[in-house]
Amino acid sequence: MSVQLATLDQLNPFSRVSGSQLGSTFAINQFKKCHIRNSGPRTRMKGIRTHAVVLVILVSVTIPHAFQNKRVLECGSVFNSETNFDSLIRTFGVSNVIEAEIHGSEGFYHHGALIFPGSEDEVEIFWGDPHTQQSLRRVRISGRQSSWKLPSGLELGMDLQSIEAHNRKPFRLTGFGWDYGGTIVSWENGYLAPSSSESCRVIIRLGYDTSEYTKELILKHGSVMGSSSFSSGHPTMQELKPFIREISLFLD
């Protein structure tokens, strides 16, 4: 009978060490301690009872589905109305969660928390009650890259054309040049349109890189500026090649 060891990714999906490496190392170390001796027709394994218990524990651990293989940003699992600072520590580890002042919209700062602070997988937490650090209100990731993804597969850094492919049609987003610029406001009844049963709102904002823009394209940029909404199929939107720069979950 063969027993498959649980990998570190299954036991602790937030570890930065390869689960396959740790799983292999653990197996080797454990079975080195089991001295197998042949004694006629029967085989005795000293210490096997203890190690069998360890193996059973490893195999029987239940891990939330959302974190078995990758970090999924969704409501109702780790991030829900009952989430508080202590529960984040229990889930992600005391060394991976800190209190912090987080920059919000329109220049305001909020007392919240950071998960994996300073890393590309950093998650910002906004509380409904900052004093007691309870009543989760908002979860945000931002930047060009992260291991976190939405259940739909959308992730930071994904470009406009890839988003359209996921939605199976163009969508609408606000113009650029203001605090809420590049916010997707409608999926136009596409594949990514939210269902009425979803427990929170997902807000996605796009940005763009100006480092390699020509003067001609910068001038065109003015046609997709401001609070009006534009189709992702707008020629200038396509030329700007915006990408997802921020994803937020809002728990109402």
Domains of the chain in start order, with CATH, are 8-63 (no CATH), 66-252 (2.60.460.10)
Answer yes or no: are the C-beta atoms of 150 and 74 closer than 8 Å. yes
Distance, in Å, from the CA atom of 156 to the CA atom of 145, rounded to the nearest integer, reads: 5
Produce one character per residue of 100-128: b if its CB has 16 or more CB atoms within 10 Å, e if not: bebeeeeeeebebbbbbbeeebbbbbbbe
**CA angle, residues 140, 145, 151, in degrees to nearest 5:** 60
Distance, in Å, from the CA atom of 14 to the CA atom of 204, rounded to the nearest integer, reads: 24
Four-residue CA torsion sign, 157, 160, 162, 167: positive
pLDDT of residue 180: 93
If you write DSSP's letter for every residue of 179-244 in order, what string do you get? TTTTBEEE-TT-TTPPPTT-SSEEEEEEE---TT--HHHHHHGGGGBSSSEEETTSHHHHHH--EE
Token digits of residue 204: 């996605």
The whole-model pTM stands at 0.71
Token digits of residue 209: 């890189």
pLDDT of residue 111: 95
Q: How would you classify the pairing of strands 243-250 and 184-186?
A: unpaired
CA distances from 87 to 207, 220, 252 (A): 33, 48, 20
If you write DSSP's letter for every residue of 69-84 in order, what string do you get? SSEE--BTTTBSTT--
E strands, 55-133, are 71-72, 97-103, 109-115, 123-129
Distance, in Å, from the CA atom of 102 to the CA atom of 104, rounded to the nearest integer, reads: 6
Rounded to the nearest 10 degrees, the angle between the axes of helix 19-32 and helix 48-60 is 160
pLDDT string in tens for the chain (252-residue length): 322 222 323 323 333 333 333 333 333 344 333 333 344 444 444 444 444 333 333 333 333 443 444 699 998 889 998 999 999 999 999 999 999 999 987 778 999 999 999 999 999 999 999 999 999 999 999 999 999 999 999 999 999 999 999 999 999 999 998 989 999 999 999 999 987 767 789 999 999 887 766 667 767 777 898 999 999 999 999 988 999 999 999 997
pLDDT of residue 197: 65
Widest pairwise Cα distance in the chain: 87
